[in-house]
Chains A and B, each alone.
Chain A
Amino acid sequence: MSVKDRVIAIIAEQAVLEPSDVTMDSTLEDLGIDSLGLVESIFAIEEEFDISVPFNANEPEKSDFDISSVASIVAGIEALIAEQKK
């Protein structure tokens, strides 16, 4: 599975949806994922890819990790994998 498909699977599971219902332009809010759901998703992503995601729930806007859509999350994770798996 590609990084994109694996991330979508994690987000879909958190949102209790089918992966096919999660599109790249969906926002977490669209998918009904709240703040606890977000930190749980980040945990699952860290476990899945064995990476560390720099995200502080107190100041999400200051994080380099962009959570504004599924596409931005996937892009952020691809970048983190490239950086941390060198």
Chain B
Amino acid sequence: MKRVVITGAGTINALGRDVPETLEAMREGRCGISELEFRDVERLAIRIGGQIKGYVPENAFNRQQMSLYDRFTQFALLAARQAVAQSGIDFTGALADCSGVVLGTSGGGLTTQDENYRSVYEEGKNRVHPFVVPKLMNNAAASHVSMEMNLRGPTFTVATACASSNHAMGLAYHMVRGGTCSVMLTGGAESMLCFGGVKAWEGLRVMSRDACRPFSANRNGMVQGEGAGVYVFEEYEHAKARGAEILAEVVGFAMTSDASDIVMPSKQGAARAITGALRDGGINASEVGYINAHGTGTAANDKTECAAVADALGGQADRVMISSTKAMHGHCIGGTGAVELLACIMALRDGIVAPTIGYEEPDPECALDVVPNEAREADVSVVLSNAFAFGGLNAVLALRKA
């Protein structure tokens, strides 16, 4: 089996327009959640989110591109450009033919759907722009990344709700580890912050009206975010031969299904994914220094996740640091694992553990070291990134210091 390393990273999210800006915000424990701004927001009960403000797509894309790129595709392309630039890879010839893209998304071009449903249902228009379908389809982002970067190998989209990005990155890891591909671009993108997107979530009654406070006893729900994270996953020898800078090594991955409830999380399903990732990576629980939690800030997730971590890590659960960066960038749904992997890389490379901000009151059901409110310096050699989706689908990645 091949070793798999990360040689490039890119992002755009409510905390920053690129990786350095995002990591700085995470170090400082800055909150990117603000009042939502879009049409009909006054008809929503939930009016906050990790929205990317002051974003001018015309600065990055020409008019023809704009007519084809939904907001989630734009985010994916911006992140992919950064990741490829950092890795220094040029995709040509045989390398291009066997390199691909696996991206996660949950809603795909939801903004495009929302705008066009409004146009035909509410405004009674009988004509829509001809690119509605290629713009809204869930694989649009992966396809446009493949086209822009000339990646001609396996390219597809994974949709497992809030675990989409982790599933995507896990599959990309498998493809490089198994030798199918030398290089994969992977991660995820999401942009659901439009009237219909937030209204649907509102219906479920799991959203907070004021803040995301993971693990805090007074938490009252999740806050949605948007954005993308894209990484270059590269076979170790390939990266070494070209002298690439290695950000971290991907060493383990596991996915499980709760097979029980469509929305309520299961401790067993989550714990099996965590132990599975440790087993896959040949990792002792005692080596795990940091876990980027799924940590949505809902009553159910956070206590179930803490119980699962305690079960899977045993005594190490009392020593491990676990934080949820969703309190800063919001829950980026299908793109969230990709944005959150940045905190994992920061812990390994910079020795800085991102905090769980908004933490106000200890919850006896979340009695782990959740790195409350302030970042911490620590020497961490192995990290995990948890994602536990609606549908009972769990995906956990393990990374090791390069």
B131 touches A36 (CB 8 A): yes
Q: Which of A18-26, A38-46, A61-69, A74-82 contacts B (4 or more CB under 8 A)?
A: A38-46
Is B93 in contact with chain A by the CB < 8 A criterion?
A: no
B131→A40 contact, CB < 8 A: yes
A83 part of interface (Cβ distance < 8 Å) = no
Q: How far is the CB of A86 from chain B (nearest CB, A)?
A: 19
A47 touches B (CB below 8 Å):
yes
In the assembled complex, B129 has its CB within 8 A of some CB on chain A:
yes
A47 lies within 8 A of B130 (CB): no
Q: Which residue of B lies closest to A13 (CB)?
A: B63
Q: Find chain A residues with CB under 8 A from B64 CB.
A: 16
- Point out the residues of chain B lying under 8 angstroms from A36, CB to CB: 130-131
Give the dominant DSSP class at B's interface: loop
Q: Identify which of residues 117-132 in chain B touch chain A, using a CB-to-CB cut-off of 8 Å.
A: 127, 129-131
Q: Give the Cβ gap from A57 to chain B, nearest Cβ, in Å.
A: 9
Residue B67 interfacial (CB < 8 Å): yes
Interface centre among B67, B127, B129, B130 (most CB of A within 10 A): B130
Question: Chain A binding site: helix, strand, loop or mixed by DSSP?
Answer: helix
B127–A46 contact, CB under 8 A? Answer: yes
Does B130 contact A40, Cβ atoms closer than 8 Å?
Answer: yes
Q: List which B141-190 residues lie within 8 A (CB) of chain A.
A: none
Give the distance in Å from the alpha carbon of A57 to the alpha carbon of B67 in the complex. 19
Q: Which single residue of chain B is at the shortest CB-CB distance from A39?
A: B130
Residues of A within 8 A of B127 (CB): 43, 46-47
Q: List residues of chain A with CB within 8 A of the CB of B129.
A: 40, 43
How would residues 95 to 138 of chain B score, 1 for a CB under 8 Å from any chain A CB and 0 otherwise? 00000000000000000000000000000000101110000000
Q: In the complex, A62 Cα to B314 Cα: how many Å?
A: 71
Question: How far is B135's CA from A40's CA once the two chains are assembled, in angstroms?
Answer: 13
Chain A residue contacts of B131, Cβ below 8 A:
36, 40
Q: Measured between C-beta atoms, what is the minimum distance from A56 to chain B in Å?
A: 12
CB distance from B133 to the nearest CB of A (A): 11
Q: Which residues of B sit under 8 angstroms from A46, Cβ to Cβ?
A: 127
| Chain A residue nearest to B134 in the complex (CB) | A36
B128 nearest CB neighbor, chain A only? A43
Report the bound CA distance from A40 to B64 in whole Å.
Answer: 10
- What residue of chain B has the Cβ atom nearest to residue A14's Cβ? B64
The minimal Cβ–Cβ distance linking B53 to chain A, given in whole angstroms, is 30
User: How far, in angstroms, from A39 to B67 measured CA to CA in the complex?
Assistant: 12
Report how far A39 CA is from B132 CA in the complex, Å: 12
Return A41 CB to nearest CB of chain B, in Å: 9
Give every chain B residue within 8 A of A16 (Cβ-Cβ): 64
Contact code string A27-39 (vs B, CB < 8 Å = 1, else 0): 0000000001001
CA distance in complex: A39, B130 (Å) = 6
Q: How far is the CA of A40 from the CA of B130 in the complex (A)?
A: 6
**Chain B residues within an 8 Å CB radius of A47:** 127
A16 and B62 CA atoms in complex are apart in Å by 11
CB contacts (< 8 Å) of A42 on chain B: these are 130
Chain A residues near B (Cβ < 8 Å):
16, 36, 39-40, 42-43, 46-47
Shortest 6 CB-CB contacts between residues of A and residues of B: A39-B130, A43-B130, A40-B130, A46-B127, A43-B129, A47-B127
Beyond the given A40-B129, A40-B130, A42-B130, please list 11 additional residue pairs across the A-B interface where CB-CB is below 8 A. Answer: A16-B64, A36-B130, A36-B131, A39-B130, A40-B67, A40-B131, A43-B127, A43-B129, A43-B130, A46-B127, A47-B127
12 A-B pairs (CB sep. < 8 Å): A16-B64, A36-B130, A39-B130, A40-B67, A40-B129, A40-B130, A40-B131, A42-B130, A43-B127, A43-B129, A43-B130, A47-B127
